[in-house]
Amino acid sequence: MYLYDLIRSGECRVNGETQAGGYHLQAGDAVEIAVDLSAETAMTPENIRLEIIFEDTEILILDKPSGMLVHPTKGVRSGTLLNALTYYLNYSKRDERLDETFIRAGLVHRLDKKTSGLMVVAKNPQAHKILSRHFQNKLVGKKYFAVVEGLIQEDSGTIDAPIGRDAEKRIWLITDDGKSAETNFRVIKKTADSTLLELEPVTGRTNQLRLHCAHIGHPIVGDDKYGGREYARLCLHAYKLSFHHPTDGRRLKFESPLPADFPQ
């Protein structure tokens, strides 16, 4: 997951040029990737409270709070979701386990630090492999709540705007030569100066929902990076998640309520 996120953030170069995941290597290609060998492992256990929605022997579903990183970075070595999961899976239930096999949390998707909401975590390599394939094949349903600036006139619609990365500025942005990106939206409620939306990403580009909302002139409240007003948090919440169980194939559906700290 660490290397995957380095690639997503533009830290991988092929023949001197930044390349994203999915690039097909050719014979003779020179691949460079900057790895922080001094970084503390994400497997360092920390007793941090997690809101577990569902759990069985293969997977668990949790509701990640806004402000929590998924895994350590160069600047943040602790307090992340993976630190918390390492403790929860290996130490919080030690008396209930029949063996001392180390359980490595398998993250098959991620949420930004400022985004809250539902995530599925695999508890063994086989479940991780199957769920990863489901995500790649777009068999997973994801929907978000977002409070955006201003009043959107349409009841629903689709935002279709390609997303690319400026290698020099190291930022993601809407650009004509970017990768295809599509988001469906539906208006749930309007207030005096903002709109509560349901967002459904058709594709899964980095910062897609934030960029797309800003692109149509309605940045997400709390998203000061893309034009939103300052607020206590980013008003983006992954509230619905559906997928096939990796063992028996049954369709599972989970929902999380609108956060109480969203503007009402």
CATH of residue 105's domain is 3.30.2350.10
Q: Are residues 186 and 129 in the same domain?
A: no
Residue at a domain's end among 137, 152, 183: 137
Q: What is the pLDDT of residue 96?
A: 62
Examine the domain organization and report whether 10 and 89 are in the same domain: no
Question: Domain end: 111, 137, 163, which one?
Answer: 137
Map the chain to HEC letters: CHHHHHHHCCCEEECCEECCCCCCCCCCCCEEECCCCCCCCCCCCCCCCCCEEEECCCEEEEEECCCCCCCCCCCCCCCCHHHHHHHHHHCCCHHHCCCCCCCCCEECCCCCCCCEEEEEEECCHHHHHHHHHHHHCCCCEEEEEEEEECCCCCCEEEEECCEEEECCCCEEEECCCCECCEEEEEEEEECCCEEEEEEEECCCCCCHHHHHHHHCCCCECCCCCCCCCCCCCCCEEEEEEEEECCCCCCEEEEECCCCCCCCC
Number of domains comprising the chain: 3
- What pLDDT shows up at residue 8? 61
131/224 same-domain check: no
Is there a single domain that holds both residue 42 and residue 25?
no
Residues 217 and 163 in one domain: yes
Same domain, 53 and 166: no
Per the structure, the complete domain to which residue 125 belongs is given by: 38-137
The answer to whether residues 165 and 263 belong to one domain is yes
The reported pLDDT for the residue numbered 34 is 66
Q: Which of 114, 137, 160 is the last residue of a domain?
A: 137
Q: How far apart are CA 217 and CA 148, in angstroms?
A: 9
The whole-number pLDDT of residue 25 equals: 78
Per-position pLDDT tens, the chain of length 264: 556 656 665 667 787 677 766 677 777 777 777 655 444 455 789 999 999 999 999 999 999 999 999 988 878 889 999 999 999 999 887 666 656 678 889 999 999 999 999 999 999 999 999 999 999 999 999 999 999 999 999 999 999 999 999 888 888 999 999 999 999 999 999 999 999 999 999 999 999 999 999 999 999 999 999 999 999 999 999 999 999 999 999 999 999 999 999 998
Q: Which residues are catalytic?
A: 112
Q: Are residues 225 and 152 in the same domain?
A: yes
Are 92 and 151 part of one and the same domain? no
- Same domain for 259 and 144? yes
167 and 197 share one domain: yes
Co-location of 224 and 257 in the same domain: yes
The pLDDT of residue 38 is 44
